[in-house]
Amino acid sequence: MTVNSVRIQGRVAVTIGVLVTVGVFVVGLLWAKWTPYLAKALTAQRTHHWSGSNILAVGGVHAGDGPTWHAATSFFHAYFASIWPALVVALLISASVQALVPRTWLPRMLNRRGLISSALAGGAASMPSMMCTCCAAPVAVTLRRNGVTRTAAIAYWLGNPLLNPAVLVFLFFVAPWQWTLTRAVVGVVTVVGVAVAVGLVTGARAESGPVAIAPPDDESGGAARRFVRCLLCLCLVLLPEYAIMVLVVGAFRGWLVTLTQPAHHGLLIVVPAAIVGTLIVIPTAGEIPILQSLALLGVSSGPLGALLITLPAISVPGVAMVARSFGWKAIATASGVVVAAGLLGATVLSVL
């Protein structure tokens, strides 16, 4: 076989792999996200009502209830029922990228000279997938494995929930306009701020060197084997710890919700609300019924603004899934900046 024949076969293999990955991305998101969200947006436009329920109250759990196995399992079942299509698609996209896309492509697309430009690139890349941070975690892990810097990868991870255009549309139709504006403005600031802070703390410029491309597998069925191997690795490593942490959050949600109740005032409720929002895991748009329930209880705009940012932005299960890829220094920095962004959200919503 001549050198030119080998090159042509390699190019054909890369082209097929990229087309398959794009197909998984488009078809998967059409099924799990784009079509269902279009239907929800049209319903919200017509009714100006959000039909989803408060996931923190499933199983009859109320503020102040202690941790129980029933609280854990009922929350787990409700949460998993909401997110499993997106999680399946995220795992398939991640395995496809690892197995079928040349490793230099994503760094060339997302790694920029400056921290802000890398953050903007990662945030922009996140908007079509519209996932929660737990479902976006496998893709974020894959980005890191393929040589994408922490700055761009963490912007992608947080941009999925915070820059989600569908959620902004939902908020516009079913909530006060101040909620939508706060989420849009503070969401962008949060994604860029977290990414830049992580880049500064971890020395992201040192990561931007060349990344070696994986040699093509010329054996018949090699790409399929790589795909299966990557998919199994993602499932065996990420899913068990993810399930355990969702159960833990579900078990303790009664105590966590207590900290957001209107019995406290001023900073005594805003700061705990911002912190609690970084612990609790919710599905995409799950913050809408939670915030509406709290507003009906008389919670002020301060904690509502904090939770509007921190509830979707980060969670204990999501952190557990990406911690090894990003490093604990990056995760601690991101968590601290998200809490600060929650306080900014509280200030902005209160002013508006």
Whether the Cβ atoms of residue 132 and residue 161 lie closer than 8 Å to each other: yes
Whether the Cβ atoms of residue 36 and residue 44 lie closer than 8 Å to each other: no
Q: Which amino acid is at 264?
A: H
- pLDDT attached to residue 10: 67
Residue 248 has pLDDT above 50, yes or no: yes
Range of the domain at 266: 10-206+222-351
Dihedral sign, Cα of residue 342, residue 344, residue 345, residue 347? positive
- pLDDT attached to residue 86: 95
In a domain, 214, yes or no: no
pTM of the model: 0.92
- pLDDT attached to residue 82: 94
Q: pLDDT tens digits for 104-153?
A: 899 999 999 899 999 999 999 999 999 999 999 999 999 999 999 999 99
Q: Which amino acid is at 327?
A: G
Residue 278 has pLDDT above 50, yes or no: yes
Q: pLDDT tens digits for 163-196?
A: 999 999 999 999 999 999 999 999 999 999 999 9
In a domain, 69, yes or no: yes
Measured distance CA(184)–CA(167) in Å, rounded: 10
Measured distance CA(10)–CA(12) in Å, rounded: 5
Whether the Cβ atoms of residue 338 and residue 157 lie closer than 8 Å to each other: no
Alpha-carbon distances, residue 3 vs 77, 89, 102 (angstroms): 55, 37, 20
Residues with Cβ < 8 Å from 259, sequence gap 6 or more?
A: 269, 272, 273, 275, 276
Q: pLDDT tens digits for 152-167?
A: 999 999 999 999 999 9
In a domain, 150, yes or no: yes
In a domain, 175, yes or no: yes
Q: Token pair for residue 186?
A: 């503070």
Q: Name the percent of the chain lying above pLDDT 70.
A: 90
User: How many CB atoms within 10 Å of residue 305?
Assistant: 30
Q: Token pair for residue 176?
A: 């006060």
- What DSSP state is assigned to residue 31? I
- What DSSP state is assigned to residue 159? H
Q: How many domains does the chain have?
A: 1
In a domain, 2, yes or no: no
Whether the Cβ atoms of residue 195 and residue 148 lie closer than 8 Å to each other: no
The C-alpha angle 83, 88, 89, rounded to 5 degrees, equals 100
In a domain, 3, yes or no: no
Extended strands (E) in the chain = none
Whether the Cβ atoms of residue 104 and residue 213 lie closer than 8 Å to each other: yes
In a domain, 94, yes or no: yes
Measured distance CA(97)–CA(105) in Å, rounded: 10
